[in-house]
Structure 1
Amino acid sequence: METKYNYATGALPAAKARQEASTVFLAKVFNWMAAGLGLTGIVAWLTASTGLFYTLRPLFLPLVLVELGLVFYLSARIEKIKASTAAFLFFGYAFLNGLTLSVIFLVYSGASIAGTFVITAAMFLAMSVYGLVTKRDLAGLGAFMFMGLIGIIIASIVNIFLASPMIHWMISLIGVLVFVGLTAYDVQKIKEMGGQGIMNQGGEAVQKGAVIGALALYLDFINLFLMLLRFFGGSRD
């Protein structure tokens, strides 16, 4: 049974109550994130192994646009939609992302995908711990990393036309740095959210907060994985 924290009652010292509330909330966020990653991985593998990829390939651009729409809608409307709707949209995004990411199982070897996943998980864990324990306010880092993300998007679009290998590798390297930084920033932000009384706001607020936090970490993990896969991924050939 979950503990309800009410700072007004003085049942727990305020600092301890905030810490415990933050821990409970973080656990919820990471559980949602893990569920989303698991769904994506299963869908991606099944889509590639069953040959469904070739049927869906003409629809990949529309699917990517739908994915982007889901992320923007969920982020913008999280305060107004129901918790059940937020959960449905999150898993819907994870499912669609699995369809589009199935291509990696056709391009890279299974061993290199598994190895890159382990590397990504280790880096993600290390930066998550840093985000949890550091006393430094990472808001400035988060803003800087977000500007870097915008730069990556613009450079990637430009490189579609230039097809420059050098720009490709520069984008990949900067991308690793950006998503490593965003992981630490997002974890710290989620930790602070958990300590600011969200656990007192009821099940709807907690679940919606956990979903939007999980979406942020899910995106950090997936994008870090894809950037690292460019370096460590071995061809199936």
Structure 2
Amino acid sequence: MAQFGTAQSHVGAISAEIDAGLRAHMNKVYGTMSVGLLITALAAWAIAGLATTTDPALAVAQISDSKYLTSLGATIYTSALRWVIMFAPLAFVFGLSAGIGRLSAASAQLVFYAFAAVMGLSISSIFLIYTSASIVQVFLITAVAFAGLSLYGYTTKRNLSAMGTFLMMGVIGLFVAMIVNLFLQSGVLQLAISAIGVLIFAGLTAFDTQNIKNTYIAHAQSGDSEWLGKAAIMGALSLYLDFINMFMFLLHLFGNRE
């Protein structure tokens, strides 16, 4: 009986240690993701500010009654460079995912922050299209929805792994539809893409949160702090992408245009 009690105590101690480690791990994931979102927001706002002007003397092209593009804005938004800027974040994601094994945790974090800045450049045009109040409002709506969905993914006892494959297939289909609509410029198709996109990335938020949690629990006793650090970066990347995509699709649906 004494041995049984000792074994129970040992198991309980391990369980408590894993719980504490999981909380620290998730805090790092959310913290890294939040810094990434802040970098993206600041980069998008700063670049949009440099790309536009209200002074006709500095203008290269007019975009509204009182707003003009500067030479930088024309280069970013109207030249062939816009295609490079559009797909640069995708290249970062693939590069970080493929090279995470060769990077240290600190290097991976720096690459993630560089990616967040490039994403800010890529989406900075939203400040030309939508009102600032509308952007802030949709951002807050996204934050509330994301928090609820992520909390569900963390706390639910339901296994969401089967949903993951279906959602990833949905992402691929969504990406193809977006590429097609770059040429079709269909408002109806864009509306459908945005609505479906919100649902897909809402589901992925819950799925990715549960996956991050389960991955940590499966490797918690390995003692490999470097691996766990990289896992936190990749977890932050997954949730960051869920947040950004959900925000962009909601903005397309509910944003007030300039």
Please confirm whether the aligned pair reaches a TM-score higher than 0.5, indicating the same fold.
yes
Give 1:15 shift.
3.0
Q: Secondary structure, in 3 states, of the residue corresponding to 1:197?
A: helix
Q: Which runs of 5+ in 1 are unaligned?
A: 1-8
Give a deviation string over 1:164-196, Cα, whole Å, max 9, x none.
222111111110000000000000011112222
| Matches for 1:88-237 after TM superposition, within 5 Å | 88-198=110-220, 200-236=222-258
In the aligned structure 1, how far is the partner of 2:193 from the partner of 2:183? 15
76, 95, 98: which is aligned to 1:56? 76
User: 5+ unaligned residues in a row in structure 2: which ranges?
Assistant: 1-8, 52-71
Paired letter, 1:29: V
Q: What SS class does the counterpart of residue 10 from structure 1 fall into?
A: helix
Amino acid at match of 1:33: M
Partners of 1:66 and 1:152 lie apart in 2 by: 18
CA distance, structure 1, for counterparts of residue 197 and residue 11 of structure 2: 45
> Matches of 2:132 and 2:119 in 1, distance apart?
18
Within 1, Cα distance between the matches of 2:221 and 2:256?
45
Deviations 1:121-170 (A, max 9, x none): 01101100100111011111111111111111111122223322221111
In 2, the alpha carbon distance for the partners of 1:160 and 1:99 equals: 19
Is the Cα–Cα contact under 8 Å of residues 30 and 236 in structure 2 kept in the other structure?
yes
Aligned length: 228
Deviation of residue 235 (structure 1)? 1.0
Separation in structure 2 between the aligned mates of residue 222 and residue 80 of structure 1, nearest angstrom: 27
Q: Which has the higher contact order (CA 8 A, sep 6+)?
A: 1
Q: Which amino acid aligns with 1:24?
A: A
Amino acid at match of 1:164: S
Which of these two proteins has the greater Rg computed from alpha carbons?
2
Q: Which residue in the other structure is 2:26 paired with?
A: 26
* CA deviation vs aligned residue, 1:86-137 (integer Å, no higher than 9, x gap): 1121011101111111100111001100000011001101100100111011
Corresponding letter in the other structure for 2:134: S
Which of 84, 95, 107 is 1:85 aligned to? 107
Q: How far, CA to CA, are the matches of 1:162 and 1:50 in structure 2?
A: 30
Q: Residue 159 of structure 2: SS of its match in structure 1?
A: coil
Q: 1:65 aligns with which of 81, 87, 90?
A: 87
Could you say what the CA RMSD is over the residues aligned between the two structures, in angstroms?
1.8
Q: Is the 8 A contact 1:53 1:103 kept in 2?
A: no
